[in-house]
Amino acid sequence: MLRNLRLALGKICHAAPLRFCKRRYVAREPFQALNRCPKWVCVEDAVKIINSEHLVFIQGGAGTPIELVRSMTEHGVCNNLRGVRLLHMNLEGDVPFANPEFQKHFRSISLYVGANIREAVNDGRADYIPVFLHEAPRLFYEKKIVPDVALIHVSMPDARGYCSLGVSADCTRAAVCTAKVIIAQVNEHMPKTYGDTIIHLSHFDFAVRYDCPLPSVANTQPNEIEHEIGKIIAQRLVDDGATMQLGIGNIPEAVLHALCNHKDLGIHSEVLGDAMIDLVENGNVTNRYKIKHRGRMVGSMAIGTKKLYDFLHVNPIVEMLAVNYVNDPRVISIQPKMTAINSCIEMDITGQVCSDSLGCKIYAGFGGQLDFIQGAAKGQDSHGKAIIAFPSVTSKGESKIQPVLKSGGGVVVTRAHVHYIVTEHGVAQLFGKTLRQRANALIQIAHPDHRECLEKAAYERLKSNPTKYL
């Protein structure tokens, strides 16, 4: 019987029994772990364990435990804590610890920089770790990062005491495995999802009951240019039966709207969003041809509106899995006709892609862009497509295709990785092309107002006419 219980727990965790729990419980028998209860406390008492110089992991995205973050900030300021380091991915909601007046108390360390942390990073009051998302869990498992405390956000426990990390598996599973103390905000609004999100109450040191709606993040409606880009991608680059990865934003939204006549699409994506639900409910997404997780859509985090969170709740066709699996290029490459669609800040005429910075100013992060670009480009069925899509000009009218990247701009996707580039003016296929051929192809899909300047700049840079002898 004991052996059977161990095997059952192992299957739940996709690993050896109780390997998902914090280190000091690994040696415990399953009976002991399952019979142990967390200490239910008010939020103010829960965060008292945080002290100066502690490293605190905070679950991110729509799973940000906003109430724990608020109380932790008050605790740190009122008790004059110094040097508390806060490790996290993109956080939603208020992040009061990032205010300039609190910099002696807290220092944020981002694995991906969100809008609410961006100013602090660029002012030198916060830090950023450049990392491919599929490698982020390694920082924990290889003990390069060992959190003293993990602040997480979970669903209500079921009859057996199991909770769910809900909308955020990503690297939270790895942090929970290695943190010395786990504090959970238990929220009836957190959807219960399947996959690497399952965690038992017995592994929490402190549990706080605080019910509040999850952050609602709704995209604005795509404009005419974005809709045109979506149509070009859907009509020319996405096949029936393709497995899709899309980020969050207006262009992915426009692409999804344009896929309403496609059949048997699959979803294997780092982020799940609202627009995907419409395709599922419309019958466009069936996941029937996926090699792995056939019949199910796979994600690592989800962010959107209540419509999305309600769809995820106890839905057996959705698996939320750790980011070191979902974003692994080897896993991605197995999916049939894998089509990855991402955007960027700017690109140079040779195909170098900047996605994480505006010049020297950090804007976002590496995220999973190159993970999926590599995986799609190496598709084992030779039908994968790695796509970078963006409007030809910025909101200020500047060309997004530039002779050279802005000084200090970070290259997230190298010119060797780039395959398909899409603007509202068409598609440039760069794989296997020379620098001169690349420049010519990109100039053809740049805004007409900027093409002459780009041709002159290409001649200066490449020492020959990009359109001659092609």
Is 44 an active-site residue? Answer: no
**Of 67, 92, 270, 455, which residue is the catalytic one?**
270
3-state helix, strand, coil in the chain (%, to 5): 35, 20, 45
Task: Give the SS3 label for residue 2.
Answer: helix
The CA distance from 33 to 273, in Å, is 35
Residues 6+ away with beta carbon under 8 Å from 225: 391, 424
How does 386-410 read in b/e, with b if 16+ C-beta sit within 10 Å? bbbbbbbbeeeeebbbbbebeeebb
Q: What secondary structure does DSSP assign to 430-451, as a single string?
A: -TT--HHHHHHHHHHHS-HHHH
Tokens 């309600």: give the residue.
310
Q: Which has the closest alpha carbon to 111: 70, 170, 158?
A: 170
Q: Which residues contact 219 (CB under 8 A, 6 or more apart)?
A: 248, 249, 250, 253, 273, 274, 275
Tokens of 65: 């435990």
Question: Pairing mode, if any, of strands 39-40 and 206-209?
Answer: parallel
The catalytic residues are 270
